[in-house]
């Protein structure tokens, strides 16, 4: 008896080692195993014989865990190779990442010298920033996912089109449309990277969710790299300044290269070190979602009570938009990190509070904006802001509806996820509209 | 007789849904029922049932609940949802269409349809 128990414990350890299985799944399989053993023992088998037969009947655990992995890409993505699959030739691939990172850094430095930045700040530099860095990220993924020629062409096409649009449009000097393009182009190109990231498909909803996860993790890594870089620069200044070295000149070189290369390095870290951050990102979401929910609920109440006489001004509007985007990011990321097999819990309620709070604020912002446009007419900035808020409003309304249905037990989490993954292209399309359609519409003013 | 792997895979979902439509159940009991229904002809490796059940859960066809029966260990029960029943009905229509076609293509094997019941 003792012996069989230790055998079961060993088997359990082995099964639990598979990345796609969580504790509950292992419990369930163990329950199955014990059931089978009990039945076999009743039929006259010895305990340890029963154990062997029951294990054999469960089947090859590698195949089973691969099947689990296919079902739970949320767990699988932490380790993109299932057990038994061939590892890629260079397991970490850091050389590859480094080549692309250095490429991005070199290009940004060359562009910087051409622009004479920071003494001079020509607007073409700001407009083209995304085009200087993100092609390297896209190419990195296209190579890593071994896209075929067609995949490479489809990946490259939006960059080429964007390069033409951004540089051939005759923007007026200091025009609003140009600033809007500079703000929206990186977003558009970020979505373009999704294509090679997802291995040359855009239809799979599970892969879209993987991309959301990637974006969240990438952000965390990028912030960490930026913090580390900041410490390094501060210490460099502290050490070299007394020696009479012109630290500003060093910073001029290091910062752009670091910021550009960091984009690729962060992506590489997400790819190869997924397990490390895995524990941190959901914790951060858990921590901040309630805090933001509380803040949003308070803000919604405060503005509902006091706002009416006071119209939103432009700065306040941008703060609100930033807030709404952060909330959407938290909700999306919280959802992507959630274990879909668990039923509704308190976190889902808190998320609903956050979404409803954001929704109320968004409605107020929109109301104020429509009033402004009614008084003063359309401008590029107002149009871009109005569009963004409408896009956010529809998303938040859908999310609020579906998550309350989910909490009421009338819908599934799957529906809610589907809504978000289906909606992702809308953001990309709107950003692309701002880049491509808005400038000619307003005469490049 | 060894039933082809693809056929086993294709029939797995409707079979599990049909078993759950009889009443809530758990992994081991579902497999026993599969064996009984197919008189041992449908051979699954037991472990593969669980990823399938998880898929049905994600699609909203079944809900799960951990419970401890009066005698025995805590285990996960699966309950079919309305959506699951709808999916089952759809599977049933498709399987009937397939068997009817096969039945017509194989004259003399009229027993096939009668065992499946009316459409």
Q: What are the pLDDT digits (tens) for B36-55?
A: 888 878 877 888 888 889 88
Cβ-Cβ contacts under 8 Å, B60 against chain A: 411-412, 414-415
Q: How far A327 CA lies from chain B's nearest CA (Å)?
A: 25
On the question of a cis peptide bond just before residue B31, with omega within 30 degrees of 0, the verdict is: no
In this structure, the answer to whether residues A220 and A315 fall within a common structural domain is: no
pLDDT band at A153; cut points 50, 70, 90 = very high
Q: Name the average pLDDT for chain A.
A: 84
Cβ-Cβ contacts under 8 Å, A24 against chain B: 66, 76
Mean pLDDT of B62-71: 83
Q: Name the average pLDDT for chain B.
A: 83
Which residue, among B88, B86, B109, has the nearest Cα to B99 in the 3D structure?
A: B109
In this structure, the answer to whether residues A100 and A232 fall within a common structural domain is: yes
Q: How far apart are CA A149 and CA A434, in angstroms?
A: 30
Domain-terminating residue out of A79, A110, A131: A79
pLDDT at A138 over 60: yes
Per-domain boundaries in chain B: 5-107
B76: β partners: B66
**pLDDT value at residue A379:** 85
In this structure, the answer to whether residues A72 and A104 fall within a common structural domain is: no
Number of domains in chain A: 3
Write the residue in B28, B51, B74 that is nearest to A68 by C-beta: B51
Residues 6+ apart with CB under 8 A from A51: A4, A7, A8, A33, A37
Q: Please answer yes or no on whether A57 and B57 come within 8 Å at the CB atom.
A: no
Mean pLDDT of A245-267: 89
Cβ-Cβ contacts under 8 Å, B57 against chain A: 340-341
Q: Please answer yes or no on whether A412 and B76 come within 8 Å at the CB atom.
A: no
Which residue, among A343, A340, A392, A344, has the nearest Cα to A365 in the 3D structure?
A: A392
Q: How many DSSP H helices and E strands does chain B contain?
A: 5, 3
Cβ-Cβ contacts under 8 Å, A205 against chain B: none
The first and second tokens of residue A93, run together, are: 């691939």
Residue pair A389/A365 in contact (Cβ under 8 Å)? The answer is: yes
End-to-end CA, chain A: 83
In this structure, the answer to whether residues A294 and A251 fall within a common structural domain is: no
Residue ranges making up the domain that contains A21: 2-79
pLDDT at A262 over 90: yes
Q: How far apart are CA A130 and CA A191, in angstroms?
A: 12
- Interface A-B: count of C-beta contacts within 8 A: 78
In this structure, the answer to whether residues A148 and A230 fall within a common structural domain is: yes
Q: How far apart are CA A335 and CA A209, in angstroms?
A: 9
**pLDDT value at residue A83:** 38
**pLDDT value at residue A78:** 45
Domain-terminating residue out of A221, A248, A275: A275
Q: How far apart are CA A353 and CA A38, in angstroms?
A: 48
pLDDT band at A79; cut points 50, 70, 90 = very low
Q: What SS3 state is found at A178?
A: helix
Residue A187, CA distances (Å) to A114, A183, A219, A432 in order: 25, 8, 13, 8
Q: How far apart are CA A301 and CA A374, in angstroms?
A: 26
In a domain, A437, yes or no: no
- The number of CA neighbours under 13 Å toward the Cβ of A251 is 17
Q: What angle do CA A214, A431, A443 make, to 5 degrees?
A: 155
B75: β partners: B67
Regarding pTM above 0.80, the answer is no
In a domain, A441, yes or no: no
- E strands, B21-83, in order: 25-26, 62-67, 75-80
In this structure, the answer to whether residues A110 and A184 fall within a common structural domain is: yes
Q: What are the pLDDT digits (tens) for A15-58?
A: 877 777 777 888 888 888 888 888 888 888 888 888 888 888 88
Q: Please answer yes or no on whether B47 and A35 come within 8 Å at the CB atom.
A: no
Mean pLDDT of A334-351: 78
Specify the DSSP class assigned to residue A170. -
Residue pair B59/A418 in contact (Cβ under 8 Å)? The answer is: no
Mean pLDDT of A308-328: 74
Strands lying side by side in the sheet with B62-67: B25-26, B75-80, B62-67
In this structure, the answer to whether residues A320 and A366 fall within a common structural domain is: yes
Q: What is the CATH number of domain B5-107?
A: 1.10.10.10
In a domain, A133, yes or no: yes
pLDDT at A1 over 70: no
The first and second tokens of residue A326, run together, are: 């952060």
């Amino acid at each position: 008896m003792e012996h069989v128990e230790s055998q079961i414990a060993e088997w359990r350890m082995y099964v639990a080692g598979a990345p796609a299985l969580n504790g509950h799944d292992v419990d369930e399989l163990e329950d199955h195993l014990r059931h089978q053993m009990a039945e076999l023992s009743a039929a006259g088998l010895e305990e340890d014989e029963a154990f062997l037969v029951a294990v054999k009947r469960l089947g090859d655990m590698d195949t089973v865990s691969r099947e689990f992995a296919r079902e739970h890409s949320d767990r699988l993505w932490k380790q993109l190779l299932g057990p038994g699959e061939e590892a890629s030739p260079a397991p970490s691939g850091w050389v590859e990442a480094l080549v692309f990172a250095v490429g991005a850094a070199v290009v940004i430095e060359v562009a910087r010298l051409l622009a004479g930045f920071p003494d001079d700040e020509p607007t073409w530099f700001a407009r083209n920033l995304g085009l200087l860095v993100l092609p390297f990220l896209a190419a990195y993924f296209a190579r890593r996912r071994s896209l075929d020629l067609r995949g490479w062409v489809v990946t490259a096409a939006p960059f080429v089109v964007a390069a033409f649009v951004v540089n051939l449009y005759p923007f007026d000097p200091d025009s609003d449309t140009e600033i809007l393009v500079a703000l929206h182009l990186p977003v558009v190109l970020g979505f373009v990277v999704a294509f090679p990231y997802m291995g040359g498909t855009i239809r799979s909803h599970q892969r879209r969710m993987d991309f959301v996860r990637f974006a969240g993790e990438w952000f965390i890594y990028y912030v960490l790299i930026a913090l580390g870089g900041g410490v390094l620069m501060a210490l460099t200044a502290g050490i070299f300044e007394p020696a009479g070295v012109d630290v500003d000149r060093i910073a001029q070189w290091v910062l752009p290269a670091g910021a550009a290369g960091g984009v690729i390095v962060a992506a590489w870290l997400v790819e190869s070190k997924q397990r490390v951050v895995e524990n941190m990102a959901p914790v951060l979401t858990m921590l901040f979602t309630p805090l933001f929910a509380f803040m949003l609920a308070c803000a919604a109440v405060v503005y509902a009570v006091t706002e009416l006489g006071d119209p939103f001004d432009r700065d306040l509007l941008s703060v609100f938009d930033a807030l709404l985007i952060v909330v959407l990011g938290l909700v999306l990321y919280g959802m992507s990190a959630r274990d879909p097999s668990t039923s509704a819990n308190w976190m889902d309620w808190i998320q609903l509070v956050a979404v409803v709070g954001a929704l109320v604020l968004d409605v107020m912002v929109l109301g104020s904006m429509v009033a402004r446009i009614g008084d003063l007419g359309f401008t590029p900035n107002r149009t871009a802001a109005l569009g963004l808020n409408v896009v956010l409003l529809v998303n938040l309304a859908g999310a609020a509806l579906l998550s309350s249905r989910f909490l009421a037990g009338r819908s599934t989490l799957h529906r809610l996820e589907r809504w978000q993954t289906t909606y992702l292209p809308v953001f990309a399309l709107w950003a692309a509209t701002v880049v491509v359609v808005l400038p000619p519409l307003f005469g490049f003013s | 007789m060894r039933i082809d792997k693809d056929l086993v895979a294709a029939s797995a979902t409707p079979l599990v849904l049909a078993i759950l439509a009889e009443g809530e159940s758990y992994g081991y009991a579902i497999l026993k029922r599969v064996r009984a229904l197919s008189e041992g002809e449908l051979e699954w490796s037991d472990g593969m049932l669980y990823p399938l059940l998880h898929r049905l859960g994600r699609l909203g066809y079944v809900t799960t609940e951990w419970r401890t029966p009066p005698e025995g260990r805590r285990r996960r029960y699966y309950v079919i949802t309305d959506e699951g029943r709808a999916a089952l009905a759809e599977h049933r229509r498709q399987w009937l269409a397939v068997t009817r076609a096969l039945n017509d293509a194989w004259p003399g094997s009229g027993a096939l349809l009668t065992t499946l019941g009316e459409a």
